[in-house]
Structure 1
Amino acid sequence: MIKYSSGLVSESFWFVEFKKIIKLKHEGISWEEIKDLCLKENLLGVSKEYRAKRIYGYLKNRISLLDEDIFDIFIMSDLSTQKIIDLMSIAKQNRLFFEFLYEVYREKVLLGETELTDSDINIFFNNKQQQSEDIGLWTDVTLRRLRSSYMNFMVDAGLLTVVNKQKQITPPILDVALERYLVEKNEVQLFKAITGRD
């Protein structure tokens, strides 16, 4: 069982960077070569080398959870599907974020609700604090930053649209190739978490 982690407070969606690295992996470029491109040729377009190193590390961890089949789908897909694949990689890497998608977002979609509220998010974190000693020890600042990260990831991926400060639920319609892939790879829970389907 993957441990709960608050690490997402240090991460962003990084879609443009994610896309660059996936393209290189699809072309058969090694991780070592990609690291060199990030640090020596500023592939990620950041001003400080230590930031390039950190972002590279985070993205390597995400992308390493994906396989070559999904790289093919990513390259052939439209922008919205590519963003969903980025979100999937985050959910595969972070148990708590996956549980948030599955237990809160999916539930709201299934119930036909149109908005994700602050109270939905707060109830989720309060429940997790009671269920997990690790999460119970996290500070209010960490929890606040995590809430913000989760919302940003979901907006960036198109699962939420902010209208007049309200978070409107906009469940994605998955590309058929991606849907088939998730079923074949036994990633049905992930499919349900992202689409809100049962």
Structure 2
Amino acid sequence: MTIDLEYSSSLNGASFLLFELKQVLKLKRLGLTNQEIRHKVKENNLFQFNNQGRINRALPSVMKRAEAIDETLASLVLEDSIEVGKVLNLYAIMKTDLLFFEFMDELIGEKLHNNDYLIEKKDINLFFTSKAEQSEKVAGWSDINIEKLKRAFLQVLFESGMLRTRKGKELNRLVMDERIKSHLTYIGDVRFIRAMGE
């Protein structure tokens, strides 16, 4: 399934959210509609956030990620190890966020393919500068928005296990389960495997 995407800074309010994705996937598995899921998440505070504003910011992204994952992958997220869940959540984020996918594909995946395990501030700055040159939309974002987005991207790398420490510069290679690799290959999503450094 391909989703037509344009650049967005929604990762600022959404970050990694693996626990939240699992909550939504459980409700989907029960056959609830998207509207029912949204209602249940808000009504019962299933994300366990302490304010409604945060739920409202995170929910659209989590719903999109849940849509991007097919039943086979959803079962792996719900029933397998946390490591498998992290890889699939990273995949869902890339699948629903064009800018983050390009960040992974053009910067992180490229570094890992060249056995370069260092991500530096200048690498990230260069990536955002080149995107601003290619896209009026990115060029129109405020410096504050872009700084927040850089932090959000690094936070996703850290939580997925691709960045060794929260404030560090050292990349880790993800251990990708063969079932994930073969399923993503089968559904035509090989480019996402490559973007994760495989």
TM-score by length of 1: 0.90
Tell me by how many angstroms 1:50 deviates: 4.3
1:44 aligns with 2:47: yes
**1:128 pairs with 126, 131, 144, which one?**
131
**1:190 pairs with 189, 192, 198, which one?**
192
1:153 aligns with 2:152: no
Tell me by how many angstroms 1:12 deviates: 2.2
* Cα distance per residue 1:23-60 (max 9 Å; x no partner): 23234333333223212222121233443344333211
**2:116 pairs with 113, 129, 139, which one?**
113
Q: Which residue of 2 aligns with 1:67?
A: 70
Given residue 172 of structure 1, which amino acid in structure 2 is its aligned partner? L
Unaligned stretches of 5+ residues in structure 1: none
Query: Which structure: greater strand fraction?
Result: 1
Give the secondary structure class of the aligned counterpart of 1:166: coil
Identity of counterpart residues, as a percentage? Answer: 28
Q: Which residue of 2 aligns with 1:177?
A: 179
Contact 1:162 1:168 in 2 (8 A): yes
TM-score by length of 2: 0.90
1:50/1:124 CA distance change after superposition, 3 Å? closer
* Cα distance per residue 1:73-121 (max 9 Å; x no partner): 2223211110111111111111110000000001111111121111110
Give the secondary structure class of the aligned counterpart of 2:151: helix
Given residue 60 of structure 2, which amino acid in structure 1 is its aligned partner? G
Give the secondary structure class of the aligned counterpart of 1:168: coil
1:51/1:112 CA distance change after superposition, 3 Å? closer
1:30 aligns with 2:33: yes
Distance in 2, matches of 1:125 and 1:131, equals: 10
Give the secondary structure class of the aligned counterpart of 2:69: coil
Distance in 1, matches of 2:51 and 2:155, equals: 24
Distance in 1, matches of 2:102 and 2:10, equals: 15
* Cα distance per residue 1:130-150 (max 9 Å; x no partner): 111221121211111111000
Question: How many positions carry a matched residue from both structures?
Answer: 195
RMSD: 1.7
Distance in 2, matches of 1:167 and 1:28, equals: 42
Q: Which residue of 1 aligns with 2:18?
A: 15
Unaligned stretches of 5+ residues in structure 2: none
Distance in 1, matches of 2:107 and 2:60, equals: 29
Distance in 2, matches of 1:92 and 1:31, equals: 19
Distance in 1, matches of 2:48 and 2:164, equals: 27
